[in-house]
């Protein structure tokens, strides 16, 4: 182990949904080896940050565990809005 990480301390990859590296590895090994399927089963990348924090780590883990070059691991669809927007603001058509 490197750095200050304790061996038994969980490593949170998706902070929005609190999903750990161990959980991600377990589900990839069970055949959920696309980013879309990992999202569906664990909700990784579906929180407020929309995968900005975890997508690269997830793609790298899928690549490492399946042996596919990372360029061949498809990313997820990027969906609007670009950043979270309050319902009250949207209801006014975007005008404060």
Partner 1 sequence: MEWKNTADVVVIGGGILGVSTAYYLAKNGMKNVTLIEKGTICGGSTGRCGAGIRAQWGTEMNCRLGVAALDTFEQLSDELGMDVGLNQGGYLLVAYSDKEMETLGAGMKLQNSLGIQSRNISLAEARQICPGLAADDAVGFFFHARDGHADPFLTTFAYLEKAKTLGVTPYRFTECTGISVKDGTVTGVETNRGHIDAPIVINCAGAYAQDIAKMVGVNIHTWGERHEIMITEPVAPGVCPCMLMSFSGNYYIQQRPHGSIICGMSPEGHPADYQLKDTWQFVEAMSKILVHLLPRTKGIRVVRQWSGLYDMTPDAQPIIGETDIKNFYHSTGYSGHGFMLAPVAGKILAQHIMGKKPDIDFSMLDYRRFDRGEHIRESNVV
Q: Which residues bind partner 1 (CB under 8 A)?
A: 34, 36-37, 40-41, 43, 46-48, 50, 79-81, 84-88, 90-91, 93-94
Q: How far is the CB of 21 from partner 1 (least distance, A)?
A: 20
Looking at the Cβ atoms of 3 and 88, the one nearer to partner 1 is 88
Q: How far is the CB of 8 from partner 1 (least distance, A)?
A: 25
Q: 94 — alpha (psi -120 to 50), left (phi > 0) or beta?
A: left
From residue 80, give the alpha-carbon distance in Å to each of 28, 37, 56, 72, 88: 27, 20, 19, 24, 17
Q: How far is the CB of 96 from partner 1 (least distance, A)?
A: 12
Looking at the Cβ atoms of 4 and 77, the one nearer to partner 1 is 77
73, 49 in Cβ contact below 8 A?
no
């Amino acid at each position: 182990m490197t750095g200050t990480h304790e061996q038994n301390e969980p490593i949170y990859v998706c902070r929005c949904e609190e999903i750990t590296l161990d959980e991600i590895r377990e589900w990839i090994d069970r055949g959920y080896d696309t980013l879309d399927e990992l999202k569906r089963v664990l909700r990784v990348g579906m929180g407020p940050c929309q995968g900005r924090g975890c997508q690269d780590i997830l793609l790298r883990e899928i690549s490492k565990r399946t042996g596919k070059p990372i360029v061949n691991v498809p990313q997820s669809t990027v969906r609007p809005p670009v950043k979270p927007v309050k319902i009250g603001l949207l209801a006014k058509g975007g005008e404060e």
